[in-house]
């Protein structure tokens, strides 16, 4: 896709977000099933359910713009999936391979940036509420998911510290 206008850029970024959410549904399911703690499993499973609604909202945005939903691959999301597969293959002990929690946080932070960018473009293009409001709702959910994951990260860090001090 040639990007010549802000509308083109918005459309391409919308396709990237759609790809990310669709890929994230599968990734979140796998990660929840393999989560090392109940807290992480719960956060991932809850956000997986939210992600289904986020996909529906993106489809509504495409419809509001008179477009058919299409995906456009992104290297960042493909890289996250690859990191997850490396983690699952047993390379998780390698410090260069991120943990499931780190992968989940990275994915959510990438999605936050994507929605912030889409909202900035939507504002510059003066898009109506039927485009803006679904994106704002999803952005709020992504931010809440990061908060929940960071709470799990903090709890895990405290438990590791206590185990070190006791050991």
C-alpha span between 150 and 69 (Å, rounded): 32
What integer pLDDT is reported at residue 94 of this predicted model?
A: 64
C-alpha span between 85 and 137 (Å, rounded): 30
Q: Is the Cα torsion angle 24, 27, 32, 33 positive or negative in sign?
A: positive
DSSP, collapsed to helix, strand or coil, labels residue 3 as coil
Q: Name, in order, each residue with C-beta under 8 angstroms of 10's C-beta and a sequence gap of 6 or more.
A: 118, 121, 122, 125, 127
Q: Which residue, among 14, 107, 119, has the nearest Cα to 1 in the 3D structure?
A: 14
End-to-end CA distance of the chain: 57
What integer pLDDT is reported at residue 89 of this predicted model?
A: 85
Domains and CATH numbers, the chain: 6-166 (1.20.1260.10)
What integer pLDDT is reported at residue 160 of this predicted model?
A: 73
Higher pLDDT, 104 or 96: 104
What is the per-residue pLDDT across 103-162, written as a single tens digit (0 to 9) for each?
Answer: 999 999 999 999 999 999 999 999 999 999 999 999 999 999 999 999 999 988 887 777
What is the per-residue pLDDT across 15-73, written as a single tens digit (0 to 9) for each?
Answer: 999 999 999 999 999 999 999 899 999 999 999 999 999 999 999 999 999 999 999 99
pTM for this model (two decimals) = 0.90
pLDDT, averaged across the chain: 92
Structure tokens at 36: 């090392």
Q: Which residue, among 19, 108, 30, has the nearest Cα to 72 in the 3D structure?
A: 19
């Amino acid at each position: 896709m040639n990007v010549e206008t802000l509308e083109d850029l918005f459309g391409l970024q919308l396709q990237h977000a759609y790809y990310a959410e669709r890929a994230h549904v599968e990734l979140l399911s796998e990660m929840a099933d393999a989560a090392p703690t109940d807290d992480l499993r719960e956060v991932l499973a809850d956000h997986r359910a939210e992600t289904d609604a986020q996909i529906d909202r993106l489809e509504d945005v495409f419809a509001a713009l008179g477009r058919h939903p299409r995906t456009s691959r992104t290297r960042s999301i493909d890289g996250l999936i690859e990191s997850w597969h490396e983690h699952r293959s047993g390379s998780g002990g390698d410090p260069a391979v991120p943990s499931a929690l780190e992968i989940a946080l990275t994915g959510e932070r990438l999605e936050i940036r994507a929605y912030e960018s889409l909202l900035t473009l939507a504002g510059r293009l003066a898009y109506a509420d039927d485009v803006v409001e679904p994106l704002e709702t999803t952005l709020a959910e992504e931010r809440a998911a990061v908060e929940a994951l960071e709470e799990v990260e903090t709890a895990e860090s405290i438990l590791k510290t206590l185990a070190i001090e006791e050991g």
